[in-house]
Chain A
Amino acid sequence: MSKKIVTTLSALLVAGSATFAAAQEKVVNVYNWSDYIDASILEDFTKETGIKVVYDVFDSNEILETKLLAGSSGYDVVVPTADFLQRQIQAGAFQKLDKSKLPNISNMWDMVMTRTAQYDPGNEYGLDYMWGTTGIGYNVEKTKAILGSADAPTWDVIFKPEIAAKFKDCGIYLLDSPTDIVPTALLYLGLDPNSHNPDDLKKAEELLLTVRPNIRKFHSSEYINALANGDICLAVGWSGDVLQARDRAAEAKAGVEVGYVVPAQGAKMWFDMMAIPGDAPHVEEAHAFLNYLMKPEVIAKASDYVFYANGNKASQAFVSKEVLDDPAIYPKDDVLAKLFSFLPYDPKTQRVVTRLWTKVVTGQ
């Protein structure tokens, strides 16, 4: 009984105004990352289709996952990262897409579709919205002074203790995200980034423990400000966040220049995927929304706004030159070939990785 009360209450609270409005007009409830779309796209969609968009945002996959797994989220379109998507598909959180209602799917980029099919065979449940990389954000001037060369840094600045030590006082931040750092450490060791082998994970742990003394902080968002303000030299972070720091630093005109590089050794590539929850109240409208976002000129507008690459090949004719030619956003083919996709851990391995991460971060 209590469960029923709780579910009903939470459904009422979350969907609240949306369900109420549904009686009178066509609505789609979208749940996307914060700062991840040009708001005019939503207005244009309503103008073209007559469907009202109720747009809500989150700032971590965990929040989205908690809502999805609790059930009755009331959302029609959500945007989890691909490794989260895969697990949520297993848990039964999504419904299969009706591709007959998605003719614009022909615009999608086969390179991206092939990679996202690793998470979702046949791309039956999700379609890529944006994708990016986990690389190094750096203070251009200070890094040049320390390395003594203008070359972009490689993973050596993080994982080679004698080089990292030179950056220690200037400051290094790492993402507080084992699923980003552990695969990258494995890659640096020349091992399979997706390895679940306990021996490999042990080696990654040993490497990270030697790196640990040089790290000032493990955090998944503070590095944006820290880089932009010139408080730190290096941060392992997500491409779009570092580019945001680059823009803020440029706007502040305080003489801080931030750069982003996908290191030559390779890096993790991640995908944010649009999907429709199994209990979505407006399935028809959700498909219309996905189809609209696969229009080349629409998604190009989104990429221009958020500075992320999208998974739509046809849109590249419409993406501004500034974004399309920026290797930090659209890496060149030789770099693309070195990007790896990270597949989710099974619960047991996840526990091992979380535990090793706690040991690396806290020393316990």
Chain B
Amino acid sequence: MTKFGSAVFNRLVIIIPYAWLMFFFLIPFFIVFRISLSQTAVAMPPYLPVFDLADGLSGIFSGIREFSIDNYLWLTQDALYINAYGASLWIAGVSTLCTLLIAYPIAYGMAQAPSNLRATLLMLVILPFWTSFLIRVYAWIAILKPEGLLNQFLLGIGVIDQPLIILNTNWAIYIGIVYSYLPFMVLPIYSALEKMDHSLNEAAQDLGCTPISAFWQVTFRLSLPGVIAGCMLVFIPAVGEFVIPDLLGGSETLMIGKTLWNEFNANRDWPVSAAVATILLLILVVPIMFFQQAQAKADGEGR
């Protein structure tokens, strides 16, 4: 390929992901954002103003003048929304931490395993995805319910004499999220650990580090990009999680997914639900930016 040809090719390759983001993230986001500035109406679609291209530019300008931030102010009027955001962040945060604590030893063990075993282990981590996510969550209902497998087992071996009430509590939500998202934490940590040069660890020990401090100062630090990537992959979808709290959680669990559902479907207030979604996005964009910065820094140090 000529130099010119390859430059054009490089440009084209870069355009594809940007076009993808443009069509499937940026444009939909602006549609949602625009709805969040409108007012609800009994109409098709159920909000005002709607832009009619037939009215030309003047129609667009008069529409923009009708925009207001009332829906965002509304969210501050009732503690409900702030509590729901807070509860979602808390549940997602605790779940992410638990997932990390379970996933790290798994990934570490996988990376230490003989290389001919690794492919099999990797397969085992991915295996649950072969069953539908929904079915796996339903299976937890059968395990956790008062007369379910877990309680029968614990009663059988005499650890408890009353069934534990786990289903329909926050415990069940934590269990459901940790279980469902575990592979998303294991895989990036494993890939970071696998790339690691083991002679670095040996060097650290030769220079007088105890195995534990060698782990913290060398292994863990080098795996940090994988840890951060895994935390983001778990935390971000967990904040907006709807299915797991709906099926496993109790009625008193109020997460933002349910609040959004209520605004959209019970109140039929597309503008307020669009505002809830926009704020949720902003809450999530901050950690992503933090992640990217950390990533850039790590890359810089690696060189």
Chain A: residues with CB nearer than 8 A to chain B? 1-4, 6, 60, 62, 65-66, 68-71, 87, 90-93, 176, 178, 215-218, 222, 231, 347, 350-351, 354-355, 357-358, 361-364
Contacts and interface: CB of A to CB of B under 8 A. Distances in A.
Contacts, number: 75
Nearest to A176: B251
Contact of A362 (B78, B247, B254): B254
Q: Which of B42, B251, B269 has the most CB of A within 10 A?
A: B251
Interface string B65-93: 00000000000001110010000000000
A362 B268 contact: no
Nearest to B259: A358
A216 B168 contact: yes
Is the interface on chain B under 10, 10 to 19, 20 to 34, or 35 or more residues? 20 to 34
Given A2-B30, A65-B268, A91 B44 contact: yes
Main secondary structure of the interface of A (DSSP, over half): helix
A216 B165 CA distance: 11
A358 B80 contact: yes
Contact of A1 (B53, B266, B269): B53
B267 A3 contact: no
A93 B254 contact: no
B51 interface: yes
Given A2-B27, A216-B168, A92 B40 contact: no
B63 to A, nearest CB: 12
B168 A92 contact: no
B206 interface: no
B123 to A, nearest CB: 33
Nearest to A277: B44
B241 to A, nearest CB: 16
Contact of A218 (B27, B80, B251): B251
B145 A91 contact: no
Contacts of B205: none
B152 interface: no
A350 B44 contact: no
B59 interface: no
Given A66-B265, A231-B147, A347-B269, 6 more contacts: A62-B265, A71-B45, A91-B44, A231-B145, A357-B266, A362-B253
A363 B45 contact: no
Interface in B263-286: 264-269
Given A6-B31, A69-B45, A364-B80, A354 B168 contact: no
Contact of A4 (B50, B53, B168, B266): B53
Given A69-B46, A71-B45, A91-B46, A215 B251 contact: yes
B112 interface: no
